[in-house]
């Protein structure tokens, strides 16, 4: 069989390696004494040699680990819910009917989705679980909606190892990378058979864990659940049957110590998920979110909303991340003005350029979004979209917030990350609808929020297609294409999303028309405004602020039925880096 992609072939090798341990009647190694007839004499020689070899290897490995730190081979994995377990068992039963020598799903061969396999020091294991716990609290893996999109298989030993291929959603890929990053400081190389459970660990098993990064991670990562093994002709017929993709969730996350052929031999640790929205204080605000989601996702409820219609839109500045002392894109633009100022002597006496050069935040804030737009036109034009993306990413990687001395992408509100994950886990598709530049937000939206670029709507400047150095390129021009704020937000939602959302989240009067239009629709609707009233953990501002002014929204929210979040009272913590 020809695999469709190198990535699929690489990752299905995981299933192959594991299946070796399960298939009886398939010889892994060649006959060691091919010229000897089978019988008692041959059997006694082979068994004696195996005992000596295993004892020698074990002694060598134990000796190595008396002088070095003991290593363990771990598998960080998702434990699927009963939906996936039931589907896996049903397929496994059919596979075993066709190939009785195959294996049955049990405690040693439980369905799972591997996130990472690595060697770590036993003495570091508590630190590994602590690092993973921080990731899992933030990412909420038990709220992910996973999708099994079809069957695939790989031939090994003449038989087909069969798997469910799981969709590589942005949320799952983000979790995969976050797990890699969390374990990376504790990962080590050159593990031996002694890192595994059991004896007779083959070199292929050791090598698989050693090279999981990069061979089976990142772009090469194919999440899957192994269902069993059968004859290829049967699995081909299975694949040809009508298949209805299904969704499932993870009931938990666990770490197993691996055995030979990569089996999940011994559970070492299990993550216990907490209640939804853990960074939100219990109370009316949190309950209003939970109640709305419950009503629109409960089949048979009068307020039930089908999955395709579960659209939620979020402002970015001040809603998903901080916006003081000035919109972060504004700070980026001011740095660009200062970098380009030597080429524009006229800027030193012209506002708002003069304020940007002199770092006059009061004047810049007073200029508002129109002033920012003027600066954007002057500093962003003439470059290709790829060039602009590189400049933004470099700036985000090297600059720090003036108050918190942290990268701007650290200034994301932890409660809102949890809310995004919670909504997605319940079938919502989330979009950013920002007054900021669409190309600016797209450079980090997927990595930071789990929202791919196509789910970002924002202000834009005119781009044109032209050929540069023999290659087509999109070039940014000094003309405003669309200003996505105030009444522009409902227009942009209709134009670019094409469905009227059922939930909208904002923090300023620039979001008023978006919340007004979304919540005016028929059926269940939800509007939420974040009130920045926490001067200690973030900033306190509303009616008199030049940035993120909130006046009309505060006045009209109660009569419109919108939920108002007090950052000070409703959030246990604001940022993920806060000490709990």
**Cα 175 to Cα 170: distance, rounded to the nearest angstrom:** 9
Q: Are residues 115 and 192 in the same domain?
A: yes
**What confidence score (pLDDT) does residue 76 get?**
97
- Residue 240's domain spans which residues? 6-271
Q: Are residues 461 and 505 in the same domain?
A: yes
Q: How many structural domains does the chain have?
A: 2
260 plus 167 within the same structural domain: yes
Does the residue 399 lie in any domain?
Answer: no
Q: Is residue 44 part of a domain?
A: yes
Q: Is the pLDDT of residue 284 over 60?
A: yes
Predicted model pTM = 0.59
Q: Assess if residue 390 is contained within a domain.
A: no
* In a domain? residue 400: no
Q: Considering the chain, what is the average pLDDT of its residues?
A: 88
Reported as a pLDDT band with limits 50, 70 and 90, residue 69 is confident
Same domain, yes or no: 289 and 172:
no
Mark whether 102 and 248 lie in a shared domain.
yes
Domain boundary among 208, 240, 271: 271
301 and 246 fall within a common domain: no
Instruction: Give residue 3's pLDDT.
Output: 41
- Give the pLDDT mean for 74-88: 94
φ, ψ (nearest 5 deg) of residue 464: -130, 155
In a domain, residue 378? The reply is no
Whole-angstrom CA distances from 170 to 218, 286, 317, 424, 527 are 12, 26, 22, 11, 25
Provide CB contacts within 8 A for 390, sequence distance 6+.
none
pLDDT at 66: 44
Q: Is the dihedral of CA 34, 39, 43, 44 positive or negative?
A: negative
Q: Is residue 492 part of a domain?
A: yes
451 and 497, same domain (yes or no): yes
Q: Please say if the pLDDT value at position 322 is more than 90.
A: yes
Are 430 and 470 members of one domain? yes
pLDDT exceeds cutoff 80 at 56:
no
What angle do helix axes 203-210 and 6-20 make, rounded to 10 degrees?
140
Question: What pairs with residue 146 in β-bridges?
Answer: 248
Whether residue 369 is predicted with pLDDT greater than 80 in this model: the reply is no
Residue-wise pLDDT for 129-155, tens only, equals: 999 988 987 788 988 889 999 999 988
DSSP element (H, E) containing 206: helix 203-210
Same domain, 230 and 303: no
Q: What is the pLDDT of residue 406?
A: 95
With bands split at pLDDT 50, 70 and 90, how would you rate the model's confidence at 50? low
Span between the terminal Cα atoms of the chain, in Å: 53
pLDDT at residue 297, as a whole number = 85
Contact 484, 435 (CB under 8 A): yes
Residue 17 has pLDDT above 90, yes or no: no
1 belongs to a structural domain: no
Q: What is the pLDDT of residue 554?
A: 97
| Residue-level pLDDT at 443 | 96
Highest mean pLDDT among 137-151, 477-491, 527-541: 527-541
In which region does residue 460 sit, left (phi positive, over 0), alpha (psi from -120 to 50) or beta (all else)? beta
Please check whether residue 15 is in contact with residue 154, taking contact to mean a CB–CB distance below 8 angstroms: yes
Q: Which residue has the higher pLDDT, 190 or 376?
A: 190
The CATH number of the domain where 265 resides is what? 3.90.1140.10
Give me the mean pLDDT over the 509-523 stretch: 97
In this structure, are 202 and 308 located in the same domain?
no
3-state secondary structure of 64: helix
The answer on 311 and 210 residing in a single domain is: no
Same domain, 509 and 537: yes
- CATH number for the domain including 321? 3.40.50.1000
476 within domain boundaries: yes
pLDDT at 8: 56
In sequence order, the 6+-apart residues with CB closer than 8 A to the CB of 234 are 95, 98, 99, 160
Query: DSSP secondary-structure letter at 123?
Result: G
């Amino acid at each position: 069989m020809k695999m469709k992609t190198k990535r699929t072939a690489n990752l299905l090798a995981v299933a192959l390696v594991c299946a070796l341990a399960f298939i009886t009647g398939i010889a892994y190694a060649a006959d060691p004494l091919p010229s000897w007839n089978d019988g008692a004499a041959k059997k006694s020689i082979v068994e004696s040699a195996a005992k000596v070899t295993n004892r020698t290897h074990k002694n060598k490995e134990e000796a190595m680990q008396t002088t070095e730190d003991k290593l363990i081979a771990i598998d960080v994995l998702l434990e699927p819910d009963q939906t996936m377990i039931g589907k896996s068992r049903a397929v496994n039963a059919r596979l075993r009917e066709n190939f009785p020598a195959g294996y049955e799903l049990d405690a040693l061969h439980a369905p799972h989705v591997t996130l990472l396999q690595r060697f770590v020091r036993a003495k570091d294991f508590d630190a590994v679980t602590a690092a993973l716990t921080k990731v899992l609290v933030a990412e909420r893996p038990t709220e992910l909606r996973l999708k099994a999109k079809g069957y695939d298989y790989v031939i090994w030993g003449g038989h087909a190892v069969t798997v469910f291929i799981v969709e590589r959603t942005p949320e799952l890929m983000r979790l995969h990378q976050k797990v890699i990053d969390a374990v990376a400081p504790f990962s080590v190389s050159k593990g031996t058979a002694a890192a595994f459970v059991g004896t007779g660990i083959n070199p292929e098993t050791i090598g698989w864990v050693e090279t999981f990064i990069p061979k089976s991670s990142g772009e090469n990562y194919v999440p899957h659940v192994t269902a069993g093994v059968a004859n290829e002709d049967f699995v081909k017929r299975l694949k040809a049957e009508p298949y209805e993709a299904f969704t499932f969730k993870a009931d938990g996350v666990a770490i197993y110590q691996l055995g030979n052929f990569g089996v999940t031999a011994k559970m070492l640790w299990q993550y216990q998920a907490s209640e939804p929205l853990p960074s939100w204080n219990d109370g009316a605000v949190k309950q209003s979110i939970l109640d709305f989601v419950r009503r629109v996702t409960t089949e048979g409820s009068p307020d039930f909303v089908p999955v395709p219609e579960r659209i939620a839109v979020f402002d970015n500045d001040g809603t998903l991340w901080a916006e003081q002392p000035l919109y972060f894109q504004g700070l980026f633009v001011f740095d660009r003005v200062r970098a380009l100022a030597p080429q524009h002597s006229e800027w030193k006496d012209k506002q708002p350029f003069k304020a940007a050069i002199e770092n006059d935040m009061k004047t810049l804030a007073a200029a508002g979004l129109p002033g920012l737009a003027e600066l954007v036109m002057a500093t962003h034009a003439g470059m290709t979209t790829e060039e602009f993306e590189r400049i933004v990413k470099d700036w985000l990687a090297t600059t720090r917030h003036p108050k918190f001395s942290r990268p701007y992408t650290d200034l994301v509100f932890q409660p809102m990350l949890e809310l995004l994950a919670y909504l997605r886990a319940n079938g919502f598709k989330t979009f950013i609808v920002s007054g900021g530049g669409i190309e600016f937000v797209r450079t980090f939206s997927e990595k930071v929020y789990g929202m791919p670029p196509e789910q970002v709507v924002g202000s834009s400047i005119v781009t044109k297609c032209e050929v540069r150095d023999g290659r087509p390129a999109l070039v940014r021009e000094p003309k405003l294409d669309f200003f996505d704020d105030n009444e522009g937000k409902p227009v942009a939602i209709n134009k670019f999303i094409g469905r009227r959302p059922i939930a909208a989240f904002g923090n300023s009067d620039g979001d008023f028309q978006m919340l007004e239009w979304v919540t005016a629709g028929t059926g269940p609707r939800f509007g939420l405004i974040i009130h920045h009233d926490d001067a200690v953990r973030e900033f306190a501002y509303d009616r008199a602020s030049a940035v993120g002014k909130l006046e009309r929204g505060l006045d009209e929210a109660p009569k419109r039925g919108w939920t108002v979040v007090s950052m000070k009272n409703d959030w246990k913590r604001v940022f993920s880096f806060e000490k709990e």
